[in-house]
C-alpha cells in the first residue's frame, strides 16, 4: 500500500482490509514497539469541516508512530478565507508534509485533490461521499466483536447523506455479510450506491421498521440524522427523532448484539444503552488510533510485523 492515496472504500480489496486490520491488531497488542517507526515524518491535517474523533485520532496515531503533525487549523484562520482554491492549498501543504489527511464538505473533493499531489492523501470525509478510514475502524470493531462469517448487520438512520454508511456498505461486500438498511423512505440509500451494491452481488434488503429485523441482527450500526447535510430545514424536521433505540427496544435483540455508532450521537441511542454489553461505540472510537496507525505505517512504507 506504499504511497497509495486512500480515497474510497471501493478501492480496498479483502486482502487490503485484512492487511490493515491484522496490522492494527498487532499494534494494539504492543503500541510501544512502533513508537519510533516514523520519527522523521510529518502528517498534514487539512480539515475544512469540524471534527473531533477523526482529527484527534489521526494526530494521535502519527505521534504514537514517532512522527508529528502540521495542522492547517480552521478555515476561518487559513488562506482559504482569502479565496485560495483547494488545489492550491494541497499543493502548498504537500511541501510541508510527508502525507496529507483531508476532510472537505464537497463530495469528490478528495479524489480531485489527490490529482495535484505526489505524497499519499487520505480522505477523512468528503461531504456525503466516502470515509474509508472510518470504515476500516468499523470493520476492525465488527471483526473483534461479531466476526465476518455469516454476519447479519443492520444499518439504521441517515442512509442518504451518511458517508460512513456508503463506505461501510461497499466494504461489507468483501466479507460474508447480509446487509439490512433501516431508514425513512426519504433517507434511503442513494440509487447509485444501491446499484453498486447489487452489481457487487451484495445481499441487501431495505426496511422502514427496525422491529421486523432486529431479532436476527448480529450488529446494529446506528447513525444520526445529519442536520447539516439537509438542503431544506423542513425536510430535516420531518425525520428528526424518528429512529431511536433504548433498553426496551433491545429486549428482542440477541444477547450478544453489537451496537455501533460512528458518533457524535444526538438522541438516537439512549444513554442507558451505554452501560450494557451491547454498547461498543466508544470502543469503536478508540479503535481509530491503532487502525489509523496501521494505515499510516503501511502507506508510508512500513512492513507488517
Residue pLDDT, tens place only, 92-119: 999 999 999 999 999 999 999 999 999 9
Residue with cell 489527490: 114
- 12 and 174 Cβ atoms separated by less than 8 Å: yes
User: Which residue do the cell numbers 446499484 mark?
Assistant: 195
Mean pLDDT of 33-61: 95
More confident of the two residues 204 and 24: 24
Taking alpha carbons only, the member of 236, 238, 239, 240 closest to residue 228 is 236
Higher per-residue confidence, 187 vs 257: 257
**Is residue 166 pLDDT above 60, yes or no?**
yes
- Across the chain, mean pLDDT equals 91
289: nearest Cα among 68, 74, 136, 71: 136
CA distance 64 to 38: 9
Give catalytic residue positions.
53-54, 82, 103, 131
Q: Compute the average pLDDT of residues 197-221.
A: 93
Q: Which three cell numbers stand for residue 29?
A: 497488542
Check residue 108 and give its pLDDT: 94
C-alpha grid cell, residue 55: 482529527
pLDDT surpassing 80 at residue 67: yes
Alpha carbons 287 and 107: distance in angstroms, whole number: 26
Segment holding 61, helix H or strand E: helix 53-64
- Answer for the pair 132, 7: CB distance below 8 angstroms, yes or no: yes
Exposed (0-12), middle (13-18) or buried (19+): which is 251, by Cβ within 10 Å?
exposed
pLDDT at 165: 93
Q: In terms of Cα–Cα distance, which of 262, 298, 239 is closest to 61?
A: 298
pLDDT of residue 305: 46
pTM of the prediction? 0.92
Band the pLDDT of 289: cuts 50, 70, 90: very high
Q: Please give the order of strands across the beta sheet that includes 99-104.
A: 68-71, 42-47, 99-104, 121-126
Give yes or no for residue 272 having a pLDDT over 90: yes
End-to-end CA distance of the chain: 15
Give the pLDDT band of residue 248 (cuts 50, 70, 90): very high
Amino acid at each position: 500500500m506504499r504511497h497509495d492515496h486512500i480515497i474510497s472504500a471501493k478501492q480496498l480489496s479483502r486482502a487490503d482490509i485484512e492487511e490493515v486490520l491484522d496490522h492494527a491488531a498487532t499494534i494494539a497488542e504492543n503500541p510501544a514497539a512502533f513508537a519510533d517507526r516514523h520519527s522523521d515524518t510529518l502528517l498534514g491535517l487539512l480539515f475544512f469541516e469540524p471534527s473531533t474523533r477523526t482529527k484527534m485520532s489521526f494526530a494521535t496515531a502519527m505521534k504514537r508512530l514517532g512522527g508529528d503533525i502540521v495542522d492547517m487549523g480552521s478555515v476561518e484562520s487559513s488562506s482559504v478565507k482569502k479565496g485560495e482554491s483547494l488545489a492550491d492549498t494541497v499543493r502548498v501543504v504537500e511541501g510541508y508534509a510527508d502525507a496529507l489527511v483531508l476532510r472537505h464538505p464537497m463530495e469528490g473533493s478528495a479524489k480531485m485533490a489527490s490529482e495535484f499531489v505526489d505524497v499519499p492523501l487520505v480522505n477523512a470525509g468528503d461531504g456525503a461521499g466516502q470515509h474509508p478510514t472510518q470504515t476500516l475502524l468499523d470493520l476492525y470493531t465488527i471483526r473483534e466483536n461479531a466476526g465476518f462469517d455469516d454476519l447479519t448487520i443492520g444499518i439504521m438512520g441517515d442512509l442518504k447523506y451518511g458517508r460512513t454508511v456508503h463506505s461501510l456498505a461497499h466494504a461489507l461486500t468483501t466479507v460474508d455479510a447480509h446487509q439490512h438498511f433501516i431508514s425513512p423512505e426519504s433517507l434511503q440509500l442513494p440509487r447509485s450506491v444501491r446499484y453498486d451494491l447489487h452489481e457487487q452481488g451484495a445481499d441487501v434488503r431495505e426496511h422502514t421498521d427496525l422491529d421486523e429485523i432486529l431479532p436476527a441482527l448480529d450488529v446494529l450500526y446506528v447513525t444520526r440524522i445529519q442536520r447539516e447535510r439537509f438542503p431544506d430545514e423542513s425536510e430535516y424536521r420531518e425525520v428528526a427523532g424518528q429512529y431511536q433505540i433504548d433498553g426496551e427496544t433491545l429486549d428482542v435483540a440477541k444477547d450478544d448484539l453489537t451496537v455501533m455508532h460512528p458518533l457524535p450521537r444526538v438522541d438516537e441511542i439512549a444513554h442507558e444503552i451505554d452501560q450494557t454489553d451491547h454498547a461498543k461505540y466508544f470502543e469503536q472510537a478508540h479503535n481509530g488510533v491503532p487502525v489509523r496507525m496501521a494505515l499510516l505505517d503501511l502507506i508510508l512504507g512500513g512492513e507488517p510485523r
